[in-house]
Amino acid sequence: MEILWSPWRSEYIKSFKDEEQNQTCFICEAINNPTEKVSRLVVFSSHSSIVLMNKFPYNAGHLLVCPVKHIPIFDELSESELLDLFQSIRKSLNVLNKSLKPHGFNIGVNIGRVAGAGLPEHVHFHIIPRWNGDTSFITLVSDTKVVSQAMDEIYNMLVKAFDEIS
In one-letter notation, the amino acid at residue 82 is: L
Confirm whether 126 is a catalytic residue.
Answer: no
Among 47, 62, 122, 124, the one annotated catalytic: 124
Whole-number Å distance between alpha carbons of 53 and 51: 7
Angle, to 10 degrees, between the axis of helix 79-100 and the axis of helix 151-165?
120
CB neighbours of 37 closer than 8 A, spacing ≥ 6?
Answer: 30
Q: Where are the alpha helices (DSSP H) in the chain?
A: 9-14, 26-32, 79-100, 137-142, 151-165
Whole-number Å distance between alpha carbons of 163 and 54: 19
CB neighbours of 68 closer than 8 A, spacing ≥ 6?
Answer: 31, 45, 47, 48, 49, 50, 81
Handedness of CA 74, 79, 80, 82 (dihedral sign): positive
Question: Active-site positions?
Answer: 124
